Structures are given as C-alpha cells and as structure tokens.
Amino acid sequence: MINPMQQVIIAVRKRDSEAVITALQDAGVLHLKPITGGPLNTGSLAGQDALARREDERLLARAESTIAELGAYRPAPAPLPAQGEWENVVEAAAVPVGALAKERQVLQADLDAEAAYGPAVRALSHIVGGLDRSRRVSLVPFLLQPTDNVAELDAALQGSLKDRYLLATEPVGQNRVGVIATLRGERDAARTALGKVRLGELRLPGRFDTMPLSEAAAEMERIQKGGADRQVALNGTREKLAQTHGPALYAVRDALKDRVAIHDVRAVSARGKYSLAMQGYVPADRVPALTAALGKFGDAVSYELHEADEHHDRTIPVELKNNSYVRPFSLVMGLMSLPKYGTFDPTWVIAVFFPLFFGIIIADIGYGLLFLLFGMWLLGKAKRNEGWNLSFFGAYIPPATLKDLGFVTNVMAAWAILWGVLTGEFFGTLLEHMHFFYINPGLLDRLWGWTGLTFPVEPEKVAEGYYKGLIPIVFPRLETSYFSNVALVFSLLFGILQVLWGWGIRIQQGVKHKDPVHVWEGLALFGGVGALILMAFATQAGKNFGEFSNFANPLILLMYVGFALFLIGWIRVIKHYPLLPIELLSQGGAVVSYARIFAVGLVSAILAKLCTDVGWSLYENIGFLGIIIGVILGAALHFFVLALTLIGHVIQPLRLHMVEFLNPTGFNAETSPAYNPLRRLSPRTSAGQVK
C-alpha cells in the first residue's frame, strides 16, 4: 500500500534555524518541498550564507575526490574531529593521495603503452640498430596488416625518393612492423609515400613519442619487467593511506554533507530578515517523531499539519508500505516507476502473480531446486553481511538487496517446484522415464473431462508400461495432441482476470478522484473487453456465430449488455477518446497476450524433454557407459537451455504485469517522487552514534 502522508508547514526564527534543521535531520522523517514565489526570499542564498555554502561545498568536493581516489569501501565509523580541524583532516589525506593518484595514473599509462606497443617498438629497435641516433638520417616507422603489400610501398618510395631510402620490415605476431630510413630533409616525402598506399606512420603515445626507438624500447623493457611489481607496491601504499585517513575522512565527509544539506534546506525555504519557513511531507505513522523533534524548541518553532491533497498536489512523495511477504517484491517494482500518490500500489499483485507465472512457465522440479539453491546462496551471503560484486557488469549488490533477491528467488523456486509436481517434470521427463511420474488416463478424464476432453489410451504404450508409475501427472502440458487447448485456455484465464481487473481499478480511481472521463472510459472498456470474452466463449472461439441470436444463453445476454456499456461509455468520452474502438481491439489482444504463459512454458518443457531424451537414449543404446555420457551430455544441454531461455522466463511475467495489467489502471501514465526525507549522516552530537 501507499503510506498516507501529512503536509507540514514549519516557521522558525532565523537565528534558531540551524538547530531546528539539525533536529529535523536527527528525526529523519521530513520530505522537503521547495517554496517558490511569495513575499519572502526563495532560491539561491546570498551574502554570508552563500559564502559559507561555497566553502562547505569546496571542502566536501575535496573530500569526495580524495575518497574516490582511495577507492576503498566505507570503513567502520570513527569519531568526528572538531569542526576547526576538518580542513586539516581533508588536506592531510588529499595531498599524499593526490600525488599517489598521479603516480598510479602515469604508471598505468606506461603499462598500457607497453602492452600495446612494446613488441612493435622492440622489433623496430632491432631493425634500426643505432641509426635512430643519427643527426642526418630520419626514421619513419609504420605498421603492416597481413593484407598490406610491401611491394606497393617500395614502388611508391622509389617514385618519390629514387634510391635515397632504405626499407626494412620484421614480423610481430600476426602483423609486421617496418621502418623507412631516409635523409632528414626528405622525411615528408617518405610520409607521403606511406599515404599513397593507405599506410600511416606509427606514432608512440605520451612521453615515448619524443624518444629514439632504442631508448623507447629500453624504457618499455624496464616497464615490462618492473611495472607490475611497482603497481602492486603503489596499490599497497593506497591501502595504507585508506586505513590511515579513511575513517576520519569519511566522518568529515558525512558531517560536510550534513552542513551542505542545511544550506540546501535554507535555499528551498522562504526566508525573511528574521524568520524562515519550510514546507514538506511526513508519513502519518511518523508524525510523532516530527513533533518530538520540534517540541523541544517550544514557542521558538510554529508548525501546522494537515492531510495531503492527493487530488491537486502532484508533488506528494510516495513511500510503499507492505507486509513482510510483499515488501521484498519492491525490488521488482524498482524496475518500474512509482505509482502516483493516492492511486493503486500494484506491489502485492506482483508479489502474488509474478512468481506464480514464473512457476507455471518453468514447471520443473529440477530447475526449481536449482533456483532454490541459488536463493539460499544469496540469503547466506546476506546473512553474513556480504555483498555481491558483479564486476563484469560494473555493479555491486549490497547485503540488504541480496536478502530481498534471495527471498523473491525462493518464492519463484517454490512455485516452479509445485508446478513441476503437477506437470510431472524433473529436468524434463527424467522421472517419467523412470516411471516415478506417469500418465493416468482415467484420473485425467475425471479431472478434465468437464472440458469435453477424453484422454486416449494407446495399446502399444500399454504394452510398454507407459501408464504405470508412482505419482500421476495432473497437468500434462507435454501431451500436446490433446491437452494443449486446455493449457492455453488456462493461461488465458489469467489474462481475463488481470485485464478486467485493471479496468476495474481505472473505474475505482476515477470515482475516487471524481474524474468522470476516466470513469466512463473504464466502464466502456470493462464492458467491451468483457463482451469480447463472452463472445469467444459463447461462439466457441468463432466456430458458431449462430449463437448471436440465442437469447436463452445467458452468455449472449451478458455480451450484449457489455457492448451496450461500451457504446454508452464511448459516447460519453468520444471527445477525449475518439479511437476507443481501436483501443478495445488492443485490449482484446492484451488478453490473448497471456497465452505467452502457455507458449513460453511449453517451449521450455519441450527443450528440457529433448535434453533428457538425448541422455536417456545414450543409456538405452550403450548401457553403463551411456549412463555416464548421457548424464554429462544431458546436464550440459540443460545448463545451456536454461541459460539461453532464463531471461525470457523472467521478462515475460514482468511484461504481462507492466503492460497488459498496469496500462488499464493508468499506472504508467502518472508517477510521484519517491519519499526522500532529510537525514543526518554524521554522528549525532548528543548520542555519538552513526545513523
């Protein structure tokens, strides 16, 4: 649910403003809203306040850049030095860290240059001997690709320089390097000849460009031999500096952020000569914390609380407040924008249906167990307060996020295992081959006969013992010859539920906000989509259009009511939505989109079955050796198929919620800012603890 908000206005004497803002930072509950216009000053600070802000921001930037150059994770909290020592603390760290950073940068540039040009430079040095130190001869090095023709270059040089040059090449890896030696005054002519055959002079980077080739080769040789050790030593020095200066530097950085935040609060407040006024929002359940923070100032502070106006105020922040099961699914909601304040929070819907859809698609006990192991691994790291450094993505997942991710993964795994029991799938048909799961036609007739299906018994399979086993399969999605239509309609039922539910929410929100346009739009499309669904059932998906005149069929009567509701609603909103009939067809397609649950799941099951059948056939044809080969090959194929299709298995349920379900609700049309209260980072003066 969306946490209800209270709007608050606070007025304080200017001389007490810093103490009041500090108390609000300690409380950590007030989301500020800028005040614009009016008779009091707003916006940028001026005079002494502006100078103080610039100085704090300068020192904060210095601290931030020093911390970035240290490259260390946040250390344990340290005591905050006295405010008069902050600049000395920052500079004591910034000077050696800055010098070290320049040294590391130069070394890294040298290592990169050696890695890219070292072999070529050494080969060129070998070619030229000591000729690179001559005052009369000029050297033009170049690089040849395997497809380049040296003879063409030789011909171009002959045309420009006659016999007044020397040309030599030497292989370096798959390419070749070469050098042209000519008189110093004819260097440009040699370069022109290179250009004629689409070759360019080899220029070395940085400081190596001005060195003779032999000197550059010697320098790169030195870097190759000692550069890595030097880099390790510099990194060790950086770690020591981080240990020495990091704790105090972080403490000062946090305190400076708090001071800059005070300046920011003043900038978004209304300021007079003797007073300052702030406005913002506080969650209703945290009003006591706000009143406690302001109450200690007595008459020096005046404030007023009232309900936030969700109908007209678009700046009310949103905080999602859900139970312990739903809350971790806010991680999934993070892929979407926040709902608009006063509307519908879909987190609990996603918490129920997203893992359910995933489980229906996977529906494999073996795959579900793999997800369960992964989820337990994530929870184990979170329990040990360890993050997950995804260096190949350039990302770091903190322990709190890992805890939520592990919980969501385990719920998804549980549904996959449950549906795997219903479909009888364990890494495809492995347990079916072993007659642990089996098809029981009589049971399936009793379960699904109401749909008109009769499950056939094939005599040749009876002889093979196909219909014998331990646990009967109750949702045989792999029996596509007779069960696919049932599985397809089962998936579409979710589409009927969620699309109609979405338009029902649209109606409810329109009534709540007294918006007749959205009310009639919702009624029109709720009735129209419902009518299309009833028409599909009544005519058996278009096989019997004669049912249109069968008024004894209650489905037909409801269908006409639905179409009438659509026409009335369309007439009421035709000025705003003239193309609503096209939207009706689109919403019918949205219902059909839920066939993805069946289609994607069936493809996954067929691929898993093929992987297992390949391994099982090796066992049947080779024997004991086939078991070993079959297990290895089957496991490799299952891993490949799962890795190849996993993203789709997660994306499809997300898409159904983000598009087909949430579009009708209006969720994707409007959003509100996230609740971001003013908080203290540095230790409280009174408690001495980091918040």
Q: What is the pLDDT of residues 480-520, one digit of tens each?
A: 888 888 889 999 999 999 999 999 999 999 898 888 999 99
What's the pLDDT at 390? Answer: 77
What's the pLDDT at 181? Answer: 92
Q: How far are the Cα atoms of 42, 124, 132, 208 from residue 216, in angstroms, in the given order?
A: 61, 10, 11, 6
Three-class DSSP category at 453? coil
What's the pLDDT at 393? Answer: 67
In single-letter form, the type of residue at position 16 comes to D
Confidence label for 58 from pLDDT (cuts 50, 70 and 90): very high
How far is Cα 153 from Cα 149, in angstroms, rounded to an integer? 7
Residue 553 has pLDDT above 50, yes or no: yes
Whether the full predicted model's pTM is greater than 0.95, yes or no, is no
Give me the mean pLDDT over the 59-81 stretch: 83
As a whole number, the mean pLDDT across the chain is 87
How far is Cα 522 from Cα 505, in angstroms, rounded to an integer? 8
Q: Which tens digits make up the pLDDT trace of 74-120? A: 777 778 888 888 899 899 989 999 999 999 999 999 999 999 999 99
Give me the mean pLDDT over the 449-468 stretch: 77
> Could you count the other beta carbons within 10 Å of the beta carbon of residue 53?
19
Place of tokens 């002959």: 158
Contact 639, 632 (CB under 8 A): no
Q: How far are the Cα atoms of 19, 21, 44, 204, 301 from residue 275, in angstroms, in the given order?
A: 13, 13, 16, 64, 10
Structure-model confidence comparison of residues 331 and 351, the more confident one: 351
Residue 353 has pLDDT above 90, yes or no: yes
What's the pLDDT at 688? Answer: 33
